[in-house]
Amino acid sequence: MEITLEKKVQAIISQLRPYLQNDGGDVEFVELTPDNVVKVKLQGACGSCPHAKMTLKDGIESTIKEHLPEIKAVEDVLLGF
């Protein structure tokens, strides 16, 4: 049985969550769009942190794209990036 791209994305996010939780934040998977954009919701301290964009792009997005190059981007549904 083949693992779907969405399940692979969710598995990577699950591996990243403890790092965010250590800083009082979290990330929730929302959806994978048909054009391979991952939508997430940064929560807790991550939702209001001035470094949220860096965490999202340099941490979460870069890690997901490293393992799944077919992913185009990772965007936060609340913050708009």
For the chain, which domains are there?
A: 5-76 (3.30.300.130)
Give residue-wise pLDDT tens across range 6-51.
Answer: 999 999 999 999 989 998 889 999 999 999 999 999 988 877 777 7
pLDDT at 79 exceeding the cut of 70: no
Question: What's the pLDDT at 28?
Answer: 94
Q: What b/e sequence results for 44-60 when a residue is b if at least 16 CB atoms lie within 10 Å of its CB, and e otherwise?
A: ebbeebeebeebbeebb
Question: What's the pLDDT at 81?
Answer: 58
Of residues 81 and 52, more confidently modeled: 52
- Split at pLDDT 50, 70, 90, the class of 54 is confident
